[in-house]
Amino acid sequence: MSRGLGSHSLDGLGVLRAVVEAGSFVGAGEALGLTQPAVSRAVARLEARVGVRMFHRTARSISLTDEGRRFYESIASHLRAIEEATSEAGDASAKVRGRLRVNVDQGTGQFVLTPHLAPFLAQHPGLFVELAVRDRMGDLVREGFDVAVRFGLPEPSALKARLLMRTRIVTCASPEYIARHGVPRRPSDIEKHQCVLMRDPSTGSHFGWEFMRGRKIVRVNATGHLMVNQVGPLLAACLGGQGIAQVLEFYTREFLADGRLVQLLPEWADEMYPLYAYHHSAQFMSAAVRAFLDFVAALTRG
């Protein structure tokens, strides 16, 4: 950045964020009440002032350049802080408001967040929450997300990762399946059973099955006639008696409690899986993001 940004550049930064979130100059113009040429001129002025080309432009799409992405990452949290300060000055009681975009994996969206959002939204009536299910977290900045909540180990990233909880991986089946096929007594018995498999998006095959007791790990060759790529169908197939499944305990609590599923080999269930929340710089975290993270932390502690 060869030159500093003056106060009159704030409008240009706001336009930049609108383009990133909308994915197009036309969409940004609609969100801001501007014409597409006006949006293009504002971005061009910002690029000239900063000395960085913000976007790759083609006839059909736009995307942030590497330099543009780094610049946007550095200013996005500051913009939200400015908006929050403005909001607080105008109406202190409505500071948790606006649009909050949340990136989730399918299981987190279906079983962790969606069933429990009503009290949070009632507490913050000025807030609009958009939950977007993604197989992978991707680039939160480029895709315009404020926060992500996902199971699994965090990948290297400039984002802040906050551990919310750890849950066991349990092996379970329906009572109907057990009545027909019996109960496996040791991990190797799983190889004689029908298993419902979960697709690993990184390989195209299914995730391997492991059983852990203390420090001892036993890997088994799980096979079956059905593979799915989401936890919802995995649980539905298991509940329907299709076979044995390995699922996060957090997803199965109510089914195990009411007897619709039975845990198998419970002494081999020491493997834990973490749930993380991801967000941008904590220094300039918006009130909406902070409130949402506090809500999710309280929810997962229960």
Q: What is the pLDDT of residues 68-102, one digit of tens each?
A: 888 888 877 777 666 666 555 544 334 788 889 99
Task: Check whether 122 has a pLDDT greater than 70.
Answer: yes
Residue 240 pLDDT > 60 = yes
Output 184 or 126, whichever has higher pLDDT.
Answer: 184
pLDDT bucket at 284, cuts 50 / 70 / 90? low
HSE of 223, CA atoms in CB hemisphere, 13 A: 6
pTM over 0.85: no
pLDDT of residue 179: 97
Q: What would the mean pLDDT of 255-274 be, rounded to a whole number?
A: 96
CB 141 within 8 A of CB 278: no
Percent of the chain with pLDDT over 90: 47
| pLDDT confidence of residue 2 | 36
Which has more pLDDT, 139 or 297?
297
Place of tokens 């649980």: 235
Q: Could you tell me the CA-to-CA distances from 272 to 134, 211, 238 in Å, in that order?
A: 22, 11, 21
Whether residue 188 is predicted with pLDDT greater than 90 in this model: the reply is: yes
Tokens representing residue 287 in the block:
């009130």
Across residues 190-211, what is the average pLDDT?
Answer: 93
At residue 6, the pLDDT reads: 40
Q: What's the half-sphere exposure (Cβ side, CA atoms, 13 Å) at 103?
A: 20
pLDDT digits (tens, 9 = 90+) for 8-36: 345 678 888 888 888 888 888 888 778 88
The stretch 99-115 carries a mean pLDDT of 90
Q: Which two tokens stand for residue 238?
A: 């298991």
Nearest to 218 by CA among 240, 241, 190: 190
Mean pLDDT, all residues of the chain: 86
Smallest CA-to-CA distance from 10 within 80, 65, 60 is with 80
Burial class of 171 by CB neighbour count within 10 A (0 to 12, 13 to 18, 19+): buried
Q: How large is the average pLDDT for residues 115-128?
A: 92
pLDDT for 275 beyond 70: yes
Q: Where do the H-state alpha helices sit in 51-152?
A: 66-90, 106-107, 118-123
* pLDDT score for 94: 42
- Taking residues 105-127, what's their average pLDDT? 91
| Residue 10 one-letter amino acid | L
pLDDT value of position 295: 94
288 and 88 Cβ atoms separated by less than 8 Å:
no
- Give residue 83's pLDDT: 63
The residue-averaged pLDDT of 268-296 equals 87
Q: Please say if the pLDDT value at position 230 is more than 60.
A: yes
Q: Do the beta carbons of residue 239 and residue 260 sit within 8 Å?
A: yes
Percent of the chain with pLDDT over 70: 89
For the chain, what is the total number of helices (H) and then of strands (E)? 10, 13
- Confidence bin at 255 (pLDDT 50/70/90): very high
Q: Do 232 and 263 touch, CB atoms closer than 8 A?
A: no
State both tokens at 260.
């619709």
